[in-house]
Amino acid sequence: MIALLARDLRLAVRAGGGFGLGLAFFLIVVTLVPFGVGPRTQLLAAIAPGILWLGALLACLLSLDRIFALDWEDGSLDLLATAPLPMEGAVSVKALAHWLTTGLPLVLASPVFALLLSLPAAGYGPMVLSLLLGTPALSVIGTFGAALTVGLKRGGLLLSLLVLPLYMPTLIFGAEMARRGAEGLDYSTPLLMLAGITCGTIALLPFASAAVLRINLR
Amino acid sequence: MTLEVSDLAVARGGVRVLEGVSFALPPGRALVLRGPNGIGKTTLLRTVAGLQPPLAGTVRSEPETLIYAGHADGIKATLSVAENLSFWAQVFGKSDISQALDAFALAPLADRPAGMLSAGQKRRLGLARLLVTGRRVWLLDEPTVSLDRDAVAMFADAVAAHLAGGGAALLATHIELGLDDATVLDLGPFRARPAELDDFDEAFL
């Protein structure tokens, strides 16, 4: 499993691996919003948590179809399925690798991007914390979507349609937590809900993803 | 007993292609599957490898002995030859890749990105993967595609060495490898008969 994680990370940072694409996309979305909204700092500060969460979610979505598609095309997925690695483990490792190459950079870069949206100073901590808690769920749910659409030509759009509704609970509680933090309110309830959703998806979805993948490989 | 298949029926795309396939593959032997295109050689191999469930019948083997190599080699273009092999070795809990590199004359190419290799060299890399896994029963689907004559000889030597070491191989190939311990199984007689039309509709006619 460590070998698989190391290989996926290495592939991500090599040429054409797509590392940093999500981050650049996040930056562009966050930069475009002030142009669209106009120079009104008050308004920007009010919508900053929601924009940051939406940006992170879309940036995450961008790289989902690569999780299994490349391995399926070159045949490694068949070989992994016959390897002594349990499919549930392989799927979890894939999700972890996706989070490390997409989610974690977003979390680390988000304070800089929050500056562009003039997020109130009190909101930085809760915002970073909410992304840190929420992005693993995005990767795990996305891995499930990628497993569903593996083998489909041009499956990227279908993948987005399948995955975005599943992202709603994470988005609702994540953005709510960031908003309450920015307004200086108590945010422990959305934090607990967000953490619960993430733990639940990490515990349950790999089994669904592995089952779906087995059926898709037939 | 290394591998025993009894009364197996397999389907491709919902259509039953082979039925009643039975054979046994003891250690040290190779079994070559023959038959025209589309008869179900690949489907049979994928079923034996456990990638798809059989319609009927059973596949019995000792656990953790099978290794499947299909049409695609599972090579990552941006990793070097040695990195590709090391990855598969680690997945199967092994670490030594030098023997596999030597067996398929890949040592001079070890540091080259796999994407730069020719089709035949990629195939040699795909076959070298079999050696690093240490599995006893090889399931090979058209292993000699895009190999030149020397490389086919290399492959035949590797299979012969594998059989001599107590391994077994189930191959779908049309090329004579010159193996002494090989049996040929023609799949023609096992072609599935068209299903009897059920008379479910008749009640409505």
- Closest chain A residue to B70 measured between Cα atoms? A75
| Residue B138 touches partner A, C-beta closer than 8 Å | no
Query: Is the Cβ–Cβ distance between A48 and A115 less than 8 Å?
Result: no
User: Per residue in B84-114, pLDDT tens?
Assistant: 989 998 888 888 888 888 888 888 888 899 8
| Residue A165 touches partner B, C-beta closer than 8 Å | no
What does the pLDDT read at residue B70? Answer: 86
The full set of domains in chain B, from first to last, is 1-65+136-195 (3.40.50.300), 75-134 (no CATH)
Question: What does the mean pLDDT of chain B come to?
Answer: 86
User: Per residue in B29-57, pLDDT tens?
Assistant: 889 998 888 888 999 999 998 888 898 88
HSE-CB at B150 with a 13 A cutoff on CA atoms is 5
B3 SS3 class: strand
Residue B59 tokens, joined: 């596949």
Of B49, B77, B78, the CB nearest to A82: B49
User: Per residue in B155-165, pLDDT tens?
Assistant: 988 999 898 88
Q: Which domain holds residue A31?
A: 2-217
Question: Given an 8 Å threshold on Cβ–Cβ distance, is B78 in contact with A15?
Answer: yes
Separation of first and last alpha carbons in chain A = 23
Which ipTM score applies to this complex? Answer: 0.82
Query: Is the Cβ–Cβ distance between A94 and A12 less than 8 Å?
Result: no
* pLDDT confidence tier of residue A212, bands split at 50, 70 and 90: very high
The distance of Cα A98 from the centroid of its chain, to the nearest Å, equals 8
> Cα separations (Å) of B92 from A148, B85, B131, B179, B191?
27, 11, 11, 27, 35
For residue B112, give the DSSP letter. S
* pLDDT confidence tier of residue A41, bands split at 50, 70 and 90: confident
Query: Residue range B167-174: average pLDDT?
Result: 88
Question: Given an 8 Å threshold on Cβ–Cβ distance, is A85 in contact with B52?
Answer: no
Residue B167 tokens, joined: 């391994």
Question: Given an 8 Å threshold on Cβ–Cβ distance, is A84 in contact with B92?
Answer: yes
| Residue A153 touches partner B, C-beta closer than 8 Å | no
Compute the distance between CA of residue B36 and CA of residue A62 in angstroms, rounded to an integer. Answer: 43
Residues with Cβ within 8 Å of A121's Cβ and at least 6 positions away in sequence, in order, are none
Query: Is the Cβ–Cβ distance between A97 and A8 less than 8 Å?
Result: yes
Query: Is the Cβ–Cβ distance between A210 and A143 less than 8 Å?
Result: no
What does the pLDDT read at residue B200? Answer: 59
| C-beta atoms surrounding B188 within 10 Å | 10
Answer whether residue B179 shows pLDDT above 70: yes
Percent of chain A with pLDDT over 90: 47
Nearest Cα to B34, choosing from B198, B173, B200? B173
Percent of chain B with pLDDT over 70: 94
Question: How many structural domains compose chain A?
Answer: 1
A114 SS3 class: helix
Query: Is the Cβ–Cβ distance between B4 and B61 less than 8 Å?
Result: yes
Distance between B188 CA and the closest CA of chain A, angstroms: 23
Residues with Cβ within 8 Å of A138's Cβ and at least 6 positions away in sequence, in order, are A56, A57, A60, A103, A167, A170
Of A3, A14, A75, the CB nearest to B70: A75
Question: Given an 8 Å threshold on Cβ–Cβ distance, is B78 in contact with A79?
Answer: no
The distance of Cα A101 from the centroid of its chain, to the nearest Å, equals 10
Answer whether residue B144 shows pLDDT above 90: no
* pLDDT confidence tier of residue A121, bands split at 50, 70 and 90: confident
Question: Given an 8 Å threshold on Cβ–Cβ distance, is A82 in contact with B74?
Answer: no
Compute the distance between CA of residue A78 and CA of residue B74 in angstroms, rounded to an integer. Answer: 8
User: Per residue in A184-195, pLDDT tens?
Assistant: 899 999 999 999
Which helix (H) or strand (E) element contains residue B17?
strand B15-25
Residues with Cβ within 8 Å of B7's Cβ and at least 6 positions away in sequence, in order, are B20, B21, B22, B56, B57, B58
Annotate A72-99 with DSSP letters as a single string.
Answer: HHTTHHHHHHTSSS-HHHHHHHHHHHHI
- Closest chain B residue to A214 measured between Cα atoms? B51
Residues 48 through 77 of chain A touching chain B, CB cutoff 8 Å: 71, 73-76
Question: Given an 8 Å threshold on Cβ–Cβ distance, is B70 in contact with A78?
Answer: yes
* pLDDT confidence tier of residue A167, bands split at 50, 70 and 90: very high
- φ/ψ of residue B19, rounded to 5: -150, 155
* pLDDT confidence tier of residue A137, bands split at 50, 70 and 90: very high
| C-beta atoms surrounding B93 within 10 Å | 12
What does the pLDDT read at residue A207? Answer: 95
Distance between A161 CA and the closest CA of chain B, angstroms: 26
| Residue A204 touches partner B, C-beta closer than 8 Å | no
- Closest chain B residue to A90 measured between Cα atoms? B91
The overall pTM is greater than 0.90: no
Instruction: Report H helices in B49-148.
Output: 81-91, 98-103, 119-133
Query: Is the Cβ–Cβ distance between B169 and B30 less than 8 Å?
Result: yes
The distance of Cα B140 from the centroid of its chain, to the nearest Å, equals 2
| Residue A40 touches partner B, C-beta closer than 8 Å | no
Of A2, A74, A82, the CB nearest to B51: A82
User: Per residue in A71-110, pLDDT tens?
Assistant: 888 888 888 888 888 899 999 999 999 999 999 999 999 9
Kindly list the residues from chain B whose CB atom is less than 8 angstroms away from the CB atom of residue A4: 87, 91
| Angle (nearest 5°) at CA A1 between A214 and B89 | 95
